[in-house]
Structure 1
Amino acid sequence: MSGGEIDRLILLLSRLPGLGPRSARRTALHLLKKREGVMEPLMEALAQVAEKVRPCATCGNLDTSDPCAICADPRRDPALVCVVRDVADLWALERAGAFQGQYHVLGGLLSALDGIGPDDLGLDRLEIRARTGAVTEVILALPATVDGQTTAHVIADRLEPLGIGLSGLAQGVPVGGELDYLDDGTLTAAFRARRPV
């Protein structure tokens, strides 16, 4: 159908979330038709992001600075730490504006099938943060899935001896729901109605 370079572009685009082969072909064609207005600025932005964006050593958020802007913000409450599965969940909560504390990004959930254990999720880093004495409550904002609930129980077991308040998101988050797909109102209501774990 086309040169190898175009086929490779389509293949790479089809690997992005929400883009299948047909959408990838349309996107590739649009990029090729709009080289100066779309493709070249996109290539520049991708190169800069690849070079400058790194995970925050404190929370795991993605940013150009370390600590990230959220961790470095003096207006955020360091006594509240919200544990999320990944950066997409952190971004969803920030978009909703429902939380003014700090975060801890796990980078996944415990999963025996996928071979993901506690050491793979940075639970030691969370425990160290919780032991500093500044943290008074850890909010577990994890998916209402089997893996999410298992992860929440393991975290609760590890933090319980520290005497820190533990809570989880409540109403508004459906069973099997993913934070990144929920609307801002649902996320806000879930935060306000959090409950002890």
Structure 2
Amino acid sequence: MNKLSLFMATIVLLAVSCSKNDEQPGHPFKKNYISGAINGNKSPERKSPFIVVFKDAVKASFVQTTKDFPATYAIVDDTLIVKTDDREKIIKFLVKNQTITFASYVALANEAKPNADFTVHAYLGKVPGKNVFAGKSFQGDLYKFGSKAVFRPGCQVAFNTAGNSFGESGAENTPDENQYNATLYNNVAFRYQKGSVRIMGAMVKDSLVYFRESGLYYWGTFR
């Protein structure tokens, strides 16, 4: 199991403040999601997207390129704890005024050294009523594992009008919007998997953090 898979574990959200209008008995995060990216400190330019999806009063999903991990969550005092099958890792989010101001990722056995292997960037948002990808296209530089140079300048990711399929191409071509079928999460993230190809993208504020596994790793931040 690679390190990016190992971080699927325990997520702790500290000092969560929800306004009274957003609170619902037993399900205070019904209208929210957490999206972000994990950077390996040995390869700081390599960003892997993730999203936390709150399904009901106790169930959630932690989704990243490798897998959609079933999870459970509970609120203890001011702490939101989300657990997946792998309990060796922990991510902490400090939230003030509905904004994540700090995030750290550590192994439980090494909690005194936060972010020893990874750096976490995260965003707490409200689930939009519409698919934000429908009919949209994004562009940015695509990078490839093993090199710090840009692999595909001006890479494009474009979605069909329904936002349920997408394609990827270089700047000189037009993407085939029906190249990959997308599984959508909270209208702000998507995932594709078939055979050895895995792709995920998540909106983190106004940027699309994109990651593809297809023999090697490819990633980019598009707008």
Higher percent of residues as strand: 2
More helix by share: 1
Of structures 1 and 2, the one with the larger relative CO (CA 8 A, separation 6+) is 2
- Bigger Cα Rg: 1
